[in-house]
Amino acid sequence: MKTQNAEAEKAKIRPLKREDSGVVSALNRLLGPGSVASPAFIAAHCLGPKALAKGWVAEVSGKIVGFGMAHDFVSFGAGGKIRQIDLLFVAEKFRMQGIGSALIEKISTDAQKSKCIRIDIEVEEKNKTARNLYESLDYKPDDAKKLRYKKYLK
Ligand SMILES: CC(C)(COP(=O)(O)OP(=O)(O)OC[C@H]1O[C@@H](n2cnc3c(N)ncnc32)[C@H](O)[C@@H]1OP(=O)(O)O)[C@@H](O)C(=O)NCCC(=O)NCCS
């Protein structure tokens, strides 16, 4: 299992605050079309007592350079609560310094405190960088070979 390197210690990982929503929304847009979560959307869904998701940011010298978003759900099949990491992003200039790993570690420690039994991360097959990162942190590809069906509600 990979350990956090010295570079990563320069980044501070902390829970998302309301005032971070604008910067996180701007970083999220860098992920491309479809990544349009507005500051209001982020604040509404990741902050406050009724939030369905949780967020963390990575700060270097007081500047937000990355973030991770996750939510928990109950799996009857797995017999417990699962944490799903929905988004993980590190600004290009700050990649390869262990910040992505540090965000995952923080989300994972918090998941253990919340009594989750597993962490899931979805990744596009072609995203080799992210897949390497997850595998280096001991995440295993799901061999269930299930198809995901979806229908948007009107
Ligand atoms: C995926 C992503 C979050 C990784 O962030 P990161 O901060 O670069 O991640 P890390 O630095 O922790 O690890 C990345 C790689 O750098 C390596 N690394 C870490 N510190 C290093 C160092 N000091 N020197 C050299 N390599 C280092 C890690 O071992 C890892 O290599 P690996 O791919 O062989 O395992 C980032 O590339 C990203 O934002 N990509 C775009 C969005 C995305 O694809 N998100 C994931 C799917 S939602």
Is 101 contained in some domain? Answer: yes
Mean pLDDT computed over 119-138: 95
Domain that holds residue 16: 8-136
Angle, CA 119 vertex, CA 116 and CA 122 arms, to 5°: 145
Look at the chain and count its residues: 154
Mapped onto helix, strand or coil, the DSSP state of residue 124 is coil
Asked if residues 85 and 68 have their Cβ atoms less than 8 Å apart, the reply is yes
Cα of 90 to ligand 1 centre, how many Å?
8
Cα of 98 to ligand 1 centre, how many Å?
6
pLDDT, tens digit (0-9, with 9 covering 90-100), for 20-52: 999 999 999 998 888 889 999 999 999 988 899
DSSP-derived secondary structure letter, 46: H
Is 152 contained in some domain? Answer: no
Which amino acids bring their CB within 6 angstroms of ligand 1? Answer: 2, 5, 7, 31, 87-90, 95-101, 123, 127, 129-130, 132-133, 136
Q: Is the pLDDT of residue 8 over 70?
A: no
Which atom of ligand 1 is least distant from the CA of 104? 12
Is 153 contained in some domain? Answer: no
Cα of 61 to ligand 1 centre, how many Å?
19
Contacting residues for 35 by C-beta, under 8 A, at least 6 apart: 28, 29
Query: What pLDDT band is residue 1 in, cutting at 50, 70 and 90?
Result: very low
Q: How many domains does the chain have?
A: 1
7 vs 49: which has the higher pLDDT: 49
Is 27 contained in some domain? Answer: yes
Question: What is residue 33's predicted lDDT score, i.e. its pLDDT?
Answer: 84
Is 28 contained in some domain? Answer: yes
Q: Which pTM was predicted?
A: 0.90
Is 2 contained in some domain? Answer: no
pLDDT, tens digit (0-9, with 9 covering 90-100), for 60-98: 999 999 999 999 999 999 999 999 999 999 999 999 999
- Residue nearest to ligand 1 atom 43, measured at CA: 89
Question: What is residue 9's predicted lDDT score, i.e. its pLDDT?
Answer: 52
**Considering the chain, what is the average pLDDT of its residues?**
92
Question: What is residue 16's predicted lDDT score, i.e. its pLDDT?
Answer: 98
Instruction: Please report, for the domain that includes residue 99, its CATH number.
Output: 3.40.630.30
- Residue nearest to ligand 1 atom 40, measured at CA: 89
Cα of 40 to ligand 1 centre, how many Å?
28
